[in-house]
Amino acid sequence: MRISILGCGYVGLVTGACLAEMGHEVLCTDNDVSKIDTLNRGELPIYELNLDEIVARNGAAKRLMFTADLAEAVRFGDAIFICVGTPPMEDGDADLSSIDSAARLIASEARGSKLVVEKSTVPMQTGQKLKRALAIYARNSGNSFSVASNPEFLREGTAVEDFLHPDRIVIGVGDTQTEMQLREIYRPLVEQSINCPVHAGNCPPKEPPRLLVTSINSAELIKHASNCFLAVKISYANLIADICENMGADVEQVVEAMGLDARIGPQFLRPGLGFGGFCLPKDVQAFIRLGEKAGADVSLLKDAENINKKRIDNFLAKARQALWVLKDKRIGVLGLAFKPGTDDIRFAPATELVGRLLQERAQVQAHDPQAMEKTRALFPSIRYCDDPHEVAQNADALMIVTEWPEYKTLDWQRIKDSMLRPLILDGRNLLKGEEMVAMGFEYQGVGKAVNEALPASSAKSG
């Protein structure tokens, strides 16, 4: 099938590339011309594991193309996937102006009837408004449009695998013909008839995904309900961590036992600096607003949001307790992306943490395997280190903010020897505290009893 993708961000680019990998002809567009120029040069504007491989392969096969001509993209596809941003407004509502702009574009430029698919995360009843807008904007064209909701469940860092090996595919439709079109689009995934680039053709056995057909309203709600449940789960783990710290228990032991319960499971039951990224924070805000409009009690979501907002406060309080004052202290920061496997810094805990450290006039030096260039635009004054070991040079403390797995295998003896004071504040429980203490570090994790400080004589003089 010929498919158009409106929007080449994380969702749009992964969606377009993976649909091409499934055998469809895909034309992607974006109103950011520089982004299209980057893609046409064979470069990617984002980092996502395995994405460069499938973009290159399908580009060479002419199944995946990019254009800055929005009208051309609309005319190309039998189906048009809307993958534009829906950022939060000041009151928490999702900003749907890009959805409206997409409707105007489609209505004015389409030549014939089209299937229009919501891929962006939107509040419930957006599909109804989109269908109405298309009808109004195209009232003199004679074209008709069917509308569907097809929410994405992609995790940055594993988005390609999530798309090609989903647990479920949700399609919200209003008629049988639309359902059949979407079933045909996703048939290669349901039948598992594609060669997977993620595992080099050696995919572990997995059940085919369930394809769930719902109403459009239900499909829109499923996405928000899923993300908000995960947010609540993370905040609950952080609540447990706070109790553990104050009462002398170990949160990792507690959540491990909880996660072994099949009714709970271990996923997202990890304490730390809170949830970030572009999805969970904005989706919680939008769902709170939706619940309030529906007359529902949304205090559970507000409490989860408040717990999340306090994680950086709590972490900085630990830093002040250990360092007394932060002014003029040299702080090393390991990790800037909101999670490992991505270069995305939107709503990342690291950006708030670095901003707060700078406000208190600390000296910050940082490393991230993928996100330093994007962070540089926000904080040009801090020192960026190509080698993560350099972050510890003459530092009064080292903060682990993003749990990149390569940080586990750093030369920690070299790091200790280079620090002014060997203090680790591990915001992700990436390291084993007992091992760090045995090496001579002061170590503070999340949800664990605070280790006794080393004698002053063990600190590096200077």
Of 8, 83, 228, 279, which residue is the catalytic one? 279
Measured N-to-C along each axis, helices 126-137 and 97-109 cross at an angle, to the nearest 10 degrees, of 40
Q: Taking Cα atoms as reference points, which of 317, 325, 288 lies closest to residue 304?
A: 288
Cα separation, 343 vs 156, whole angstroms: 9
- Residue 94 identity (one-letter amino acid): A
Give how far Cα 446 sits from Cα of 244, 352, 383, Å. 9, 18, 26
Q: Residue 210 pairs with which residues in a beta bridge?
A: 168
Phi-psi region of 421 (alpha: psi -120 to 50; beta: other; left: phi over 0): beta
Cα separation, 247 vs 250, whole angstroms: 9
Give how far Cα 133 sits from Cα of 90, 101, 107, 108, Å. 24, 10, 9, 12
Residues with Cβ < 8 Å from 295, sequence gap 6 or more?
A: none
Q: What is the CA radius of gyration of the chain?
A: 24
Q: Residue 114 pairs with which residues in a beta bridge?
A: 145
Order the strands of the 210-214 sheet from edge to edge. Answer: 64-67, 25-29, 2-6, 79-82, 114-118, 145-149, 168-172, 210-214
**Using CA of residue 419, residue 422, residue 426, residue 429, what is the dihedral sign?**
positive
75-95 burial, b if ≥16 CB within 10 A, otherwise e?
bbbbbbbbbbbbebeeebbbe
| Paired tokens of 184 | 């045909």
Cα separation, 351 vs 348, whole angstroms: 6
Query: Does residue 28 have an active-site annotation?
Result: no
Give how far Cα 120 sits from Cα of 70, 136, 270, 445, Å. 18, 21, 27, 36
Give how far Cα 67 sits from Cα of 31, 57, 62, 74, 76, Å. 10, 18, 13, 11, 11
Q: Taking Cα atoms as reference points, which of 255, 231, 230, 232 lies closest to residue 447?
A: 255
Q: What are phi and psi of 346, to 5 degrees?
A: -65, 125
Residues with catalytic roles: 279
